[in-house]
Structure 1
Amino acid sequence: MNTSDNSYIDVDSLELKDVIDINVLQSFQDNFARSMDIASVTVDVNGNPVTEPSSYTDFCMDFTHNTKIGDSRCAESHKRGGEEAARSGKPYIYRCHAGLIDFAAPILVNGKQIGTILGGQILTSVPLESDFRKTAREIGVHEEGYIKALKKVKITSEKNVEAAAEVLFIVANAFSKIGYEELKLKRISKDLEGEVLKKNLLIEESNKYNNLKTQLFSTVSHELKTPINIIYSSLQLLDSFNNGDSFILMSDTFSKYSNIMKQNCYRLIRLINNLIDMNKIEVGFFSLNLRNNDIVKVIEDIALSVVEYANLKNINLIFDTEIEEKVIAFDSEKFERIILNLLSNSIKFTKSGGNIYVNIYDENENVLISVKDTGIGIPEDMLEKIFDTFTQVDASFRRNAEGSGIGLSLVKSLVELHGGTITAQSKLGNGSEFIIKLPMKLIEDKVDTHKNESNSVNNNVEKTKIEFSDIYFT
């Protein structure tokens, strides 16, 4: 298939009417024929007329074209003339099947012929009647009438024929180029209109989706968080009576189910908090409370606060750092969620007797924080997907561990809000490692936080319970 430099147009499928306004072509053809006193017509690639004949002679109109054989031979002659002109790339002057002189100017689109403008039905010398009588007999017309019409055919010089053919060729070229450029513009305009319509529809669908999603998050926060707070307050009240004598006989049972209810409340609170924060991040309403703080001390305190949970599953949690102190700008509360989430995953997916390593490294302009475990690992084809929202590793690998598939997506977003990156390395059966790269930046802080602010990470046991709520200790 021939194609142009514009992918919007399939040249092979073009017809003359696609490129040139036939009415304009007819008008030119009529004027050309009258001014030159010669006949003219425009044909398609098969030699069939697409315009009305202009200034046709009686010889052709009343006789040659008036029989089936003669008309068929004319079409074949027109076709060959157009093909030869297209092949040579210049006007082609030739003698038609009936013996008159015609000339052809091809209409080309990127070298592809889609039609021909013809002129002629003239002579450059006095004809031999015998040749034309023979043609009359072949096509089945009256000989004497044919010869009489022949004598009316215009005789002109070869130079005049060449000049007329050259004019026709130039005009045919101009029609081709102008018509084709117009066609390209129309096609491009049509495609652009389609693209604009498609994008408008996508924007409309996106807006609908965002409105529905916002409504969903609003419903989740209102319809779930309120009853959870009530349940949790009730449990706290029951806990306050647990030391009373009236509850002594049922204290074990009460404590067991009270703890189960608490843990499930924590799980729901964690889910809702994650959903709300994800929505805030997506719509750009989530902000960090950056302070200059000692990142090493904050992470060490978080790790130490989790040791007890790791020990309950007979897992060793080991903290190590190559730098004793590094003050940078970060949101300690958000970073607590990041590290607790990673440690929660490590504890969930590490067997009894395994190890979890939390390490901090100084790397030029960045701080590297590594959370590594000896757990079950992550399949290679899931490494790029685990940070996508609601993505979970296949249940056959997760075993009894539970989760919503939101945590790592939120972790990635929180890290990126700090200007950092997080990557995962893992081999199935050989554990996983999550590496956070955080830029060493400082801000103009009102307070030197790491000196004047008491560390609240260790004190906030509730946050740890919430982040570890989907781990069951037996």
Structure 2
Amino acid sequence: MENIEQDIDVDSIEIKDIIDISLLQKFQDNFAESMNMACVTVDRNGVPVTKPTAYTKFCEYFIHSTNKGDKECANAHKYGGERATEMGKPCIYKCHAGLIDFAAPILIDGKQIGTILGGQILEHKFEKSDLEEKARKLGIDGNGFFKAAEEVKIIDNKSVKAAVDLLFMFANFLSKIGYEELQLRQMSKRLKNEILQRDTLLKEANEYNALKTRLFSTISHELKTPINIIYSAIQLLENMYTSDEKSNKMDLFLKYSGVMKQNCYRLIRLINNYIDINKIGLGFYKLEEKNGNIVNTIEDITMSVVEYAKLKDIKVIFDTDVEEKIMAYDSEKIERIMLNLLSNAIKFTDMGGNIKVSIHDNEKFVIISVKDNGSGIPEDMLEKIFDVFIQVDDSIRRNVEGSGIGLSLVKSFVEMHGGNITVESKLQGGSEFLINLPVKIIDEDPNINKDKGKLMDMDNKEVKIELSDIYL
């Protein structure tokens, strides 16, 4: 990757110079609402560049009511960003006021230009002596301060981790966008001296801007849609319990709790995919390979989607020319690959259609085929569908949900195994995805317990997550 410091001084770059603050504010507001935590974005010195979202009364009306408190908060924000940059991962820390915050750095060419911060939460209630000491140092009203402290949310570690992962994922996206924005600026300078290449460079710039717009649009839609569905289900349940009408409340509860759970799975899938695509791009993703029978693994995964397919009267067929093929592979990644391809096949195949999964042993390679007789893919999209955030035209997709990340992840997982994936398709004539995986055996520690494997079914959590955008 070319070093942009040859042309641009990164130390002089501010967040507002390269990132649309209004779009950043929208993400920040959505994050705070969905995670029920405070959020703000600051520059490299800890000074806010966005309007703080969901700040606690404890911080907004008391800590920030004094110059000293404001200064200490800026120093804490700066510390969180610098520490996260040093560690290369999110930094979870206790701020000067005793609250838990977490920081994810925005980096350009390895240098920090700002930080996204979340938190203003607690693991447990304050000690009164600590509050009295803080009120004395800041010179603020103790009674109101103590009452505001009682309202600070206590959050469990699992919820904090989910929020930290989401914030880190988005900070990585912003870092990439910032880097590409600087490259675009440099390209614009060169346009003045490269008139003959002007049209080509402008086309590349437009394609990048379209990708950036699609990125923010995808994030907004894919997060907002399931959150709205969950919120609507909650409202219906609340109305049910406040209504005088007599009805089978348990049936309604199970119906709408199922809707909420499915959309939670959908959010988990989306966040997992965004995090994974960034980890792969940064080179942090590693395989956990073990020797096993890949035929059994593929068959179990295929059978796990049969009940989903039956809801559309789609027949799923599994065929293999070999009953056992021992080789090294990461079973969790193979599961993600197959569930993604099968999910797409179900979504794009009409009622009464067929899906066939077959395995062919070519000795040095195993060939896995996922074939359907669905709507197919336009010829001009065949070379693009494995690119991140690329989706088939809406006229073909109809009402099918998706973020455009799944096939990009599939391609990455296959290539991490040393294999390749291709697609053959004809519009309205079905599609066939072909995966070639090299056969290899690895040395394993005999003391490590091997995963015996378990037949997957539609109640398996991983299946529900990967097929969460298929509405039953």
User: What TM-score comes out, normalization by structure 2 length?
Assistant: 0.50
User: Does the aligned pair in 1 maintain the 2:4–2:109 contact within 8 Å?
Assistant: no
AA in 2 matched with 1:437:
N
CA distance in 2, matches of 1:319, 1:374: 15
Q: Is the 8 A contact 1:310 1:347 kept in 2?
A: yes
Q: What residue in structure 2 maps to residue 470 of structure 1?
A: 469
Unmatched 5+ residue regions in structure 2? 11-17, 19-105, 117-163, 172-222, 238-245
Instruction: Pick from 75, 100, 108 the counterpart of residue 208 of structure 1.
Output: 108
Residues in 2 aligned to 1:318 and 1:415: alpha-carbon distance in whole angstroms: 23
* 1:213/1:197 CA distance change after superposition, 3 Å: closer
In 2 relative to 1, CA 402–276 (structure 1 residues): closer, same or farther, beyond 3 Å? same
Structure 1 CA distance, aligned partners of 2:401 and 2:460? 21
Where does structure 1 lack aligned partners over 5 or more consecutive residues?
1-195, 239-246
| Cα distance in 2, alignment partners of residues 299 and 341 from structure 1 | 13
Describe how 1:226-265 pairs up with structure 2 within 5 A.
249-265=248-264
Q: Partners of 2:9 and 2:314 in 1: how far apart?
A: 50
Q: Indicate how the Cα distance of structure 1 residues 212 and 314 shifts in structure 2: closer, same or farther if over 3 A, else same.
A: farther
Name the CA distance, whole Å, in 2 between partners of 1:461 and 1:214: 38
* Distance in 1 of aligned mates of 2:115 and 2:382: 29
Q: Deviations over 1:371-402 (max 9, x none)?
A: 00000000000011000000000100001111
CA shift for structure 1 position 454: 2.0
Q: Which residue of 1 aligns with 2:397?
A: 398
CA distance in 2, matches of 1:432, 1:413: 20
Q: What is the alpha-carbon distance in structure 2 between the residues aligned to residue 203 and residue 288 of structure 1? A: 38
CA distance in 1, matches of 2:167, 2:3: 33
Range moving further from structure 2, 251-260 or 208-217 = 208-217
Residue in 2 aligned with 1:219? 167
Q: Which letter maps to 1:219?
A: L
* Alpha-carbon distance change, 401 to 202 in structure 1, aligned in 2, over 3 angstroms: farther
The equivalences for 1:341-352 within 5 A come to 341-352=340-351
Which residue identity is paired with 2:6? N
Shift of the 251–299 alpha-carbon distance from structure 1 to 2, 3 Å rule, reads same
Matches of 1:214 and 1:328 in 2, distance apart? 44
Question: CA shift at 1:279, angstroms?
Answer: 1.0
**Which aligned pairs between 1:257-406 and structure 2 lie closer than 5 A?**
257-406=256-405
Structure-to-structure mapping, 1:158-197, within 5 angstroms:
none
Letter in 1 for 2:374: G
Larger Rg: 1
**What's the counterpart of residue 440 of structure 2?**
441
1:293–1:448 contact (8 Å) kept in structure 2: no
Which string of whole-angstrom CA distances, capped at 9 and with x for unpartnered residues, describes residues 424-468 of structure 1? 11000000011100000110012599x953214516701101111
Q: Could you give the per-residue CA deviations for residues 270-315 of structure 1, whole angstroms, max 9, x where no partner exists?
A: 0000111111111111111100010000000011111111111100
SS of 1:310's equivalent in the other structure is helix
Shift of 1:212: 8.5
TM value normalised by structure 1: 0.50
- Give aligned pairs, total: 265
Question: Aligned partner of 2:466: which letter?
Answer: E
Separation (CA, whole Å) in 2 of partners of 1:372 and 1:258: 34
Indicate the larger mover: 268-277 or 249-258.
249-258
- TM alignment of 1:19-58, pairs within 5 A: none
Query: C-alpha offsets along residues 159-180 of structure 1, whole Å, 9 cap, x if unaligned?
Result: xxxxxxxxxxxxxxxxxxxxxx
Q: CA offset at residue 217 of structure 1? A: 6.2
Matched, 1:458 2:456: yes
**Is the Cα–Cα contact under 8 Å of residues 217 and 279 in structure 1 kept in the other structure?**
no
